[in-house]
Amino acid sequence: MSNQNMETEETYYSNYGPQGGLASGPLKLKMTLSGERVVAAEPDVGFLHRGIEKTCEKLQWVALPSLIEKVDYLSSIHGTLALSLAVEKLMKIEISPRAQAIRLIVSELNRIASHIYFLTTMAKACGAQTASQFFLRDREKINNLFEMLTGARLMYNYVCVGGVMSDITEGFIEKTHDTIKYLKPKLKEYDDLLFNNHIFTNRLKKTGILKTSDCISHYITGPNARASGFFYDVRALSPYCGYEKYKEFLERSIKPVTQSDSLDRLQQRVLEIRQSLEILSLEIDRVPAGTYKEKLSKDGKVPKGEAYSVVESSRGLFGVYVCSSGGNVAERIKLRTPSLSLLKVVPDILKGNEVSDVPGVIASLDISVSEIDR
């Protein structure tokens, strides 16, 4: 459409959210519409700003994992893992191989859980209520595993400084095998529900295109970037917790870039579930013997200094910067969250799409508002 037409077009304004939006959490979109087409869309965040970084300076070190979990509640293991890695750098502790293997297992499990929840919101956004219920049912299986291991369904508080909170419970390994066996054929069902369904694929094709150049300039990481052809995976680039073993596997199984649209991002997530299941099925048999947690001094103090460590969360590069003044309480904690870098790109992605596509595109970006706001 030419510029002149754009000027004479009558537009109107509409809010989208913060209640009832499809991002997980209250995201508001200020949209200027022309008929059914989105002329401009501006995200408004801050509805979940809880001041977590300030709260970190109020609580003791021991309490921090349970706080950092709430930053990205859908992949809470990754938040606590990044914090633990940073604090361990400060305290200069080496983690036992067993604890590392357990950490890897839970982090992959959490990735699967998060991606399945993504599929749920995606299906809901496209009006496939039944498909979304199917995904929720499968997420319960992962929740069962976590419940067995940590006792919680969502806020696990499992990874801690020095290892993990508790050892692998009896029967966990067998149950994990069962779950992997259950989920692998289910992935075929997902393909039937999503990618062999023409209504589903046709409405997602060519909507919400995220350009590779945008990914690089805004440093968008995670599945979104990988679907757009910007391969950036902390697990492969600077491995932690024994991801060295799977470096080649991760680099090998890259999805070829086609459109970098919503459908591609959906396919990327399903691919990652498949990857995680592969890693999980290898790692679950390789848990070495040893202690699950290193002995720490009881005063709960962390030596003076600074540390910064990153992990690959379900949404991308999750970094925690820790600064300690040698006391019980952190001096400053800064969280680098993957969804925040998406914020400036969302208007470009949404522009030119239809109102019907907005829920699908927003859901396909898998924005976690709590991560943006903190």
Q: Is 231 in the site for other proteins (CB under 8 A)?
A: no
Closest CA to 27 of 373, 374, 347, 356: 373
The pair of three-digit structure tokens given for residue 33, joined into one six-digit string? 């519409």
β-bridge mates for residue 321, sequence order = 308, 334
Q: Is 210 in the site for other proteins (CB under 8 A)?
A: no
Q: Is 253 in the site for other proteins (CB under 8 A)?
A: no
Instruction: Tell me whether residue 54 or residue 286 sits nearer to other proteins (CB atom).
Output: 54
Q: Is 317 in the site for other proteins (CB under 8 A)?
A: yes
Q: Which of residues 326-365 bind other proteins (CB under 8 A)?
A: 331-332, 334, 336, 340-341, 343-344, 354-359
Stretch that binds other proteins, among 44-52, 241-249, 256-264, 293-301 (CB under 8 A): 44-52
CB 252 within 8 A of CB 279: no
Instruction: Tell me whether residue 39 or residue 355 sits nearer to other proteins (CB atom).
Output: 355
The pair of three-digit structure tokens given for residue 237, joined into one six-digit string? 């680039």
The residues, any chain, with a CB within 8 Å of residue 40's CB and separated by 6 or more, are 31, 32, 347, 351
Q: Which of residues 149-178 bind other proteins (CB under 8 A)?
A: 153-155
Q: Is 268 in the site for other proteins (CB under 8 A)?
A: no
Phi and psi at residue 119, to the nearest 5° = -60, -35
Least distance between other proteins and beta carbon 242 (Å)? 17
Q: Is 104 in the site for other proteins (CB under 8 A)?
A: no
Q: Which of 89, 175, 255, 301 binds other proteins (CB under 8 A)?
A: 89
> Which residues in 117-225 belong to E strands, given as ranges?
159-160, 163-164
Tell me, residue by residue from 3 to 42, as one string, x for binding to other proteins by CB under 8 A and - for no binding.
---------xxxx--xxx-x-xxx------x-xx------
Instruction: Tell me whether residue 25 or residue 223 sits nearer to other proteins (CB atom).
Output: 25
CB 3 within 8 A of CB 23: no
Closest CA to 161 of 65, 247, 290: 65
The residues, any chain, with a CB within 8 Å of residue 14's CB and separated by 6 or more, are 31, 32, 33
Left if phi > 0, otherwise alpha if psi is -120 to 50, otherwise beta: which for 54?
alpha
Within 40-96, where are the H helices?
52-56, 64-68, 76-91
Q: Which of 323, 330, 346, 367 binds other proteins (CB under 8 A)?
A: 323
Q: Which of 217, 244, 258, 290 binds other proteins (CB under 8 A)?
A: 217
Least distance between other proteins and beta carbon 35 (Å)? 7
Instruction: Tell me whether residue 168 or residue 333 sits nearer to other proteins (CB atom).
Output: 333
Torsion sign, CA atoms 48, 68, 89, 283: negative
The CA radius of gyration of the chain, in Å to the nearest whole number, is: 21
Instruction: Tell me whether residue 140 or residue 174 sits nearer to other proteins (CB atom).
Output: 140
Q: Is 254 in the site for other proteins (CB under 8 A)?
A: no
Tell me which residue has tokens 């293997």. Answer: 101
3-state secondary structure of 73: helix
Least distance between other proteins and beta carbon 29 (Å)? 12
Query: To which H or E segment does residue 41 belong?
Result: strand 37-44
Least distance between other proteins and beta carbon 98 (Å)? 26
Instruction: Tell me whether residue 41 or residue 284 sits nearer to other proteins (CB atom).
Output: 41
Instruction: Tell me whether residue 173 or residue 175 sits nearer to other proteins (CB atom).
Output: 175
Least distance between other proteins and beta carbon 127 (Å)? 3
Q: Which of 9, 11, 42, 49 binds other proteins (CB under 8 A)?
A: 49
Burial of 136 (0-12, 13-18, 19+ CB in 10 A): middle
Q: Is 307 in the site for other proteins (CB under 8 A)?
A: yes
